[in-house]
Amino acid sequence: MSKLRAGPSDRRAAGDVREQLPAGVRMNTLQRVAATGGIAAIVLLLGVLIFDGISNSHEARDAIRSSHRMIEAAQATLQDITNAETGQRGYLITHDEDYLAPYHEALLAITADTSALRRLAGADSVHKRQLDSLSKRIDAKLSELAVTVALARSGGPDSARAEVLTNRGKVAMDDIRGVLGQLSAHQDALLAERIAASDKHYRVVTVTDVAGTSGAVLLALLLNMMLTRYADGQAVAARMLLAQNSELNDANKLLGEQTLELELQNHQLQEQTVELESQQIQLEEQASELEMQAEELVASVEELQLQSSVAEEARVRAEEATARAEDASQAKSLFLTTMSHELRTPLNAIGGYVDLLAMEIRGPLVEAQKDDLRRIKKSGQHLLSLINDILNLAKIESGQLDLRIRDVSLASVLENVEALVTPQFGAKGIKYVYPRCDASLRVRADSEKLQQILLNLLSNACKFTNSGGRVSVECDALSDAEADHRATVSLRVRDSGRGIASEKLEEIFEPFVQIDRHLTGSSQQGVGLGLAISRDLARSMSGDLMAESELGVGTTFVLTLPRGTIGVGAGVPAESVAAASSQRPS
């Protein structure tokens, strides 16, 4: 928008600006009318009045001039008649025709002057009557003059003299003077009136001129003052308008930018609308698909509800079965405990009597009897160890096993175990690689149970590894970097024996499970409880026992236990823990 061009909004703005101006610099309607037409009206009125006064003055001057001409014409007429009479008198005296020249000239002048009198008299009735009377008297005088001149020519001076002596000519002359005197008097009166009228018009014109000019000057000054204030106001308004105009320009520019931005947003909105429409179509398709799926789901839910009621029935039956199984397990554990106790008492007694006999307290024995007693003793010990295993398992499963958990030095435990298993490995020709454990490495465990687990694993390794094989124990301290309290220690018992099929790796931890029992020699016989007890013990101590194996290559049993406090020995207080009941189904 141009700064100088005023559009409708600018005019509105100008109106607003004028509203803000002080009352003194604004013009009301009357002042505007006065400013635009006041002086013109006054000048027009003045002109009309002066024109009227001048016109009247001109008329009065013409009338005065007419009066003067009338008086002059009357005097000229009297002079003409006097000149005619003078020529007549000269001729009558001299009888010389030359003296009649003024008489003839006067006759012509009298006609012209009386005509002028009539023209100047116009419609004035007084003058008309006076001129009629004057014409009659002039005719009478001219007739007396013509008669006397004719008598002088024809009869001589005496006959003319008689006529003159009749005094007719003198009377006519006196009448003429009288009429002309009246005419002049009337004209003098008119002249006086006209001069007075002329003076009056002159005064009116003068007063009107002075008053009108003064009024016009005053009004012009007033208007000048008003216009000056108005112009000042207009200048202020113009400045304010300019300021507002520049503000408007700024606003306009901003508006333009905002309009552009809005157009851009509009464009984006249109694109989004198109996208939304396509998404809506997709959604509608998905909605119809979902409806179909919902219908299918409703059908599935109904089916599931049906299955759920069936499952609920199954669950109730399973709970009942579990309760029965738990009861049976308790009964079995109680039975095993009782039976183990009942079996161990006579077995111990048998062992005692065998010892008595072997010591030959009852009398000397032959060598064959001594061999028999040794076999009886060995079988009794084997039986006792079986019974102990069963008793242990029963105790663990019934939650009656007492554990003394404390920080245990792995090195010392392995040293104890080593002393027990070394003779076995040596007898069978198996290379036993001694464990190299950090002397400060400790685990949280019951040391007897830990020893029991290790003995079981090592004796199994010895049992299922052929002569010339190799058995080793490795220690690993595993640490969970994020949670140190979950640090564990793992012990790997590795052998190069026959190995276990992968599908059997879990099965071997079940009680009374033995793989390839026929391959196991009579000296290696067990009942399949060692691993079951070992795993239960490991788990009771917050650890675990797992197996890794490859057929024909060897087996590794991995025992994990919580790590103990480094460098702290037996001084760490022991926890007394009752082993949790085994989760294994009986």
514 binds ligand ADP (CB under 6 A): yes
C-alpha distance from residue 408 to each of 447, 451, 461, 554, 565 (Å):
6, 11, 24, 29, 9
**CA-closest candidate to residue 576, choices 394, 446, 408:** 446
Contacts of 500 (CB under 8 A, 6+ apart): 508, 515, 547, 549, 551, 555
| Number of residues located near ligand ADP, criterion CB under 6 A | 21
Sheet holding 544-550, edge to edge: 431-433, 470-478, 488-495, 554-562, 544-550
* Residue 452 CB, nearest approach to ligand ADP (Å): 12
388 binds ligand ADP (CB under 6 A): no
Q: Which stretch binds ligand ADP (CB under 6 A): 377-385, 419-427, 439-447, 496-504?
A: 496-504
Give yes or no for a contact between 418 and 472, defined as CB atoms under 8 angstroms apart.
no
- Nearer of residues 82 and 514 to ligand ADP, judged by Cβ: 514
535 binds ligand ADP (CB under 6 A): no
157 binds ligand ADP (CB under 6 A): no
* Residue 355 CB, nearest approach to ligand ADP (Å): 26
543 binds ligand ADP (CB under 6 A): no
Binders of ligand ADP among residues 554 to 583 (CB under 6 A) are 555
461 binds ligand ADP (CB under 6 A): yes
Q: Which residue is nearest to ligand ADP (CB)?
A: 526
Please provide residue 561's backbone torsions phi and psi, each rounded to the nearest 5 degrees. Answer: -140, 155
Give Dmax (Cα) for the chain: 260
* Residue 467 CB, nearest approach to ligand ADP (Å): 15
495 binds ligand ADP (CB under 6 A): yes
**CA-closest candidate to residue 354, choices 335, 375, 338, 336:** 375
* Residue 424 CB, nearest approach to ligand ADP (Å): 13
Residue appearing with tokens 């001729």: 91
- Nearer of residues 43 and 513 to ligand ADP, judged by Cβ: 513
Contacts of 374 (CB under 8 A, 6+ apart): 358
Please provide residue 475's backbone torsions phi and psi, each rounded to the nearest 5 degrees. Answer: -110, 135
* Residue 472 CB, nearest approach to ligand ADP (Å): 12
536 binds ligand ADP (CB under 6 A): no
Q: Which stretch binds ligand ADP (CB under 6 A): 63-71, 96-104, 114-122, 529-537?
A: 529-537
* Residue 527 CB, nearest approach to ligand ADP (Å): 6
508 binds ligand ADP (CB under 6 A): yes
Buried b or exposed e, range 102-114, using 16+ CB within 10 angstroms? bbeebbebbeebb
* Residue 457 CB, nearest approach to ligand ADP (Å): 7
458 binds ligand ADP (CB under 6 A): no
531 binds ligand ADP (CB under 6 A): yes
CA 559, CA 557: separation in Å to the nearest integer? 6
Please provide residue 492's backbone torsions phi and psi, each rounded to the nearest 5 degrees. Answer: -110, 120
* Helices and strands: H and E segment counts in the chain: 11, 8
Q: Which residues bind ligand ADP (CB under 6 A)?
A: 456, 460-461, 464, 495, 497-498, 500, 508, 513-516, 526-532, 555
